[in-house]
A and B are shown apart, each in its own frame.
Chain A
Amino acid sequence: MKILRWLIGTLMLLCIAVLIIVRPLPFLFYPDLPHVGFLGRGLYIIILACVLCLYRIWRGPTGADRIVAIDILGIMIIGLCAILTISTGRSWYIDIGIAWALQSFIGTLALSKYLEGKGFDE
């Protein structure tokens, strides 16, 4: 079982490496801005991190694990918004990031209060 997990992880890393070498992820409406190639390759890395987070949400043994993963996913989406700001040249993406940071913080506090009030085992 352990060998299978290591195998799957190595396969994912190899896939990401091949994709990074072959071609950057295309943006939908991108004009001729600098750094688009580098940032398009960086999006693969952040997608890998999001997939690891989603694994923890899917397979968390308790509710607290899922709440932690949701919090971390929210923080990483802010980084994604910053990267989109540079690569598409539209400044309202960072506004989405600020609003997301505020709302994610309040949501996490509410979920942790819920966790404290009542036993929450799955």
Chain B
Amino acid sequence: MSDIIGLIFIFIGLTFDVFGCLGLVRLPDVYNRLQAATKCVTVGTCSILFGTFLIMGFSAPGIKALLCMVFLVLTSPVAAHAIARGAHRSGIKLWDGSVIDKYKEDKEGEI
């Protein structure tokens, strides 16, 4: 029974991985790509690892998969945050259809 639930989790994870990469290809600028890709791929991979834990049970690979899942949830948003900040500091502009950019206004006020 837990095998079937694990396979369902793995299937959901694979689907969200493909959606995230589709967002990486279709969306127009760095920040939007970062949003779609980070959310979908993080949750998809966590779902795959949780399915691995359900299939393997409390053995060595199952426990390691749980540890890897916790680690991934903690680090992936930090990496996204660092990339977004670096991209904005290095002068990459937002997409033309963007509505507002408060960050740029504040940074110009300081210098």
| Contact surface of A with B, Cβ cutoff 8 Å | 34-35, 38-39, 42, 45-46, 48-50, 52-53, 55-56, 62, 64-65, 67-69, 71-72, 75-76, 78-79, 82-83, 85-86, 91, 93-95, 97-98, 101-102, 105, 108-109, 111-116, 118-120
Contact = CB atoms under 8 A, between A and B. Distances in A.
A109 B82 contact: yes
Consensus secondary structure, chain A interface: helix
Contacts of B59: 91
Contacts of B80: 71
B34 A68 contact: yes
A94 B65 contact: yes
Contact of B61 (A50, A91, A101, A113): A91
A78 B35 CA distance: 20
Nearest to A42: B14
B91 interface: yes
Interface of B: 3, 7, 10-11, 13-15, 17-18, 20-22, 24-25, 30, 33-34, 37-38, 41-42, 44-45, 48-49, 51-52, 55-56, 59-61, 64-65, 67-68, 71-72, 75-76, 78-80, 82-83, 85-87, 89-92
